[in-house]
Amino acid sequence: MASKLWEKKTRVDSDIERYTIGRDAEMDMFLAPYDVLGSMAHATMLESIGLLSKQDLDQILAGLKAIYANIEAGNFEIEDGVEDIHSQVEMLLGEVGKKLHSGRSRNDQVLVDLRLYTRAKLQEVVQEVKGLFDALIAQSERYKHVLLPGYTHLQIAMPSSFGLWFGAYAESLLDDMQLLLSAYKIVNRNPLGSAAGYGNSFPLNRQLTTDLLGFDSMDYNVVYAQMGRGKTERIVASALASVAGTISKLAFDSCMYTSQNFGFLKLADQFTTGSSIMPHKKNPDVFELTRAKCNKLQGVPQQITMIINNLPSGYFRDLQIIKEVYLPMFDEMIDILVMTRSMIEQIQVNENILNDSKYDLIFSVEEVNKRTLAGTPFRDAYKQVGLEIEAGNFTPDKNIAHTHQGSIGNLCNEQIQGLMQEVLSGFSFQKVEQAQQNLLK
């Protein structure tokens, strides 16, 4: 069994070792490429302040690039008995690897790994949110003239449209994207150099590692850099939970609208499953599972909160457990976004819903408004139409004209798209990609 980087003479009891390490090696595989990138920046900085020779730096960078290539090729693993990704990388570098840890702690290593991982995963999430947004806008435009009943209290209320319905979820994603941008800006600050949370007596150049890793700035106060562990994950998880909340509501609507009692939508057959005893069934299982997965993701911020809730400043091993609920949520979120976009792109719309007379009463407000425009006080017009409904004498006029901003006849999709582009311009993806390319070339 390999010794630990921190181990002296006393060997750790195997049961205690198993309990304290837990799933850390498994979780660290998510962080592997980012641990290498952080080490490349740190090594470059150490050479710039005289703690590594040029020869040492060249050897370390060559070794780290080889490790990175193995990770990308799927040929990397954390060996049995090796405590974590940081230990594995250092041991693979051999003797020169012993010099790499000057000026840093595993605390700020995992902090920077988490920031780099989160930053990269947020970019993937943002791209998929934009893809779903575009699909919703396209369907909103395609079906903008197709009416459907709007509901309050699950009772028929007023005319709506598929243009409004699809577009509403697009605009909801716009707000979610704003939260993702805020989370990204908090993530995109460099904690490296905070060491165990109290800085270091070496003359570290933290601005250099900030630039090398493409961060916008750094977490300046070293105590706060360590305090950011857990807080940052909770903020990001909350932004992802907001996306999940939008999609969960969309999934609920879709399940309801595809039922025979509504019949507003029809899912493509490949997104439905059958029954073992009912040959007619086409169940919206994909949307149902999407709803459940989204609801599960909405619980992650609360899980993180409960882990970090009463911790004072400084590092505590409690923080390790956050990785188990936090790291996997990105791929699940991305999977949900990809699947939802595919379903929305292929969903079929019933274009004749309001031909059914049971929806006639949703045009009552239109009639009240028409009489009000003709000069009848609103309250009198309201009472007239109400009495006609009670007497069974109400005849709807289904020719409606909503023209104000954001209504059936004026969806403002172009404005919503413009706001989305404005938010997207706030992400510094190109800067980050260039910094990573410079490290690896």
275 is catalytic: yes
Could you give the residue ranges of the DSSP H alpha helices within 259-328? 285-297, 300-308, 322-326
Compute the distance between CA of residue 76 and CA of residue 117 in angstroms, rounded to an integer: 17
Q: Out of 14, 153, 404, 425, which one is annotated catalytic? A: 153
Q: Out of 53, 217, 259, 275, which one is annotated catalytic? A: 275
Contacts of 293 (CB under 8 A, 6+ apart): 244, 332, 336
Exposed (0-12), middle (13-18) or buried (19+): which is 83, by Cβ within 10 Å?
buried
Residue by residue, DSSP assigns 361-399 as GGGHHHHHHHHHHTT--HHHHHHHHHHHHHHT-------
First-to-last alpha carbon distance for the chain, in angstroms, is: 35
Give the residue carrying structure tokens 């700035």: 217
Q: Give me 350's structure tokens.
A: 């019933």
**What distance lies between CA 165 and its chain's CA centroid?**
23
Within 13 A of 364's CA, how many CA atoms are on the CB side? 22
Give the residue carrying structure tokens 């991982």: 117
102 is catalytic: no
Catalytic positions, written as ranges: 153, 275
